[in-house]
Amino acid sequence: MAALVGDYAIMHICKEPRRTSEHTGHTWVYEILQGHPIHCYEMFRMEKFIFHKICTELVEQGLKETKGMRVQEMVAIFLNMVGHGLGNRMLQERFQHLGETISRHIDEVLLACLKLSFKYIRPQDPMFRDCEVKIEVINDIDHFFKNGIGAIDDIHISFIVSPAEQARFIGRKSIPTQNIKVVCDWNMYFTFVLAGWEGTAHDACVFYHALTNANLNFPHPPPGFFYIDIHDL
């Protein structure tokens, strides 16, 4: 019994601290934002002013700093995960936080990003009154694009899924992927994104779901106008 109590004390009471580096995540983020512009682009995949703009936008969507972490560090953790593919353990070491803390703040930033998507991923003009083609075409085929209001395509993006779910997500890429439907206008702004479909799903099936599910708010073109399917070019 005494041995069990001793083992418990060693594991849960007299634990040796693991994240003891003096170079904390806050210090690292501050150095990057105060340093060379290229360093920020390499670490966060964006320029400094864009990083600060995103932080401001996410705060407006409800992201709040805590006693132990500022918004800039939360966003930096999220960007290192999506931009460099770092796992939780690597992020723990880089930012000197517990795994639960890392996961919780990633979820908070992701939730704010989802709210932000409703603000930006939509047509600039829901009535599509300005449908003039903004791209340069050749070989005298511009008349084919006259009433086009944008381009539509599917893309497969790899992601991690539990072994029990992998079979339906492994398609032609031989790895688990999501089949994502995207639409953009001639100004290269995304106006619709539908994510989450398994990699084995046919593009037509995903498209039909986008068209028939009213909750997704697919931007239907006005009569006489159309989207250009990239696969047909």
Spatial contact of 177 and 156, defined as CB atoms under 8 Å apart: yes
pLDDT of residue 106: 96
Percent above pLDDT 70 for the chain:
83
pLDDT band at residue 50, thresholds of 50, 70 and 90?
Answer: very high
pLDDT of residue 11: 58
HSE-CB for 219 with a 13 A CA cutoff: 25
Say if residue 126's pLDDT is above 80: no
Other beta carbons within 10 angstroms of residue 129's beta carbon come to 7
Which residues does residue 157 pair with via DSSP β-bridges, in sequence order? Answer: 178
More confident residue, 44 or 16: 44
Say if residue 32's pLDDT is above 80: yes
Spatial separation of the C-alpha atoms in residues 134 and 151, rounded to whole Å = 12
Say if residue 24's pLDDT is above 80: yes
Spatial contact of 176 and 166, defined as CB atoms under 8 Å apart: yes
Of 7-16, 83-92, 103-112, the one with minimum mean pLDDT is 7-16
pLDDT of residue 12: 56
pLDDT of residue 2: 61
Structure tokens at 13: 């009471």
Say if residue 86's pLDDT is above 60: yes
pTM for this entry: 0.76
Backbone angles phi, psi at 195, to 5 degrees: -115, 165
Of 43-57, 73-87, 152-166, the one with minimum mean pLDDT is 152-166
pLDDT digits (tens, 9 = 90+) for 170-207: 887 788 999 999 999 888 889 999 998 998 899 899 99
Most confident segment among 17-21, 133-137, 207-211: 207-211
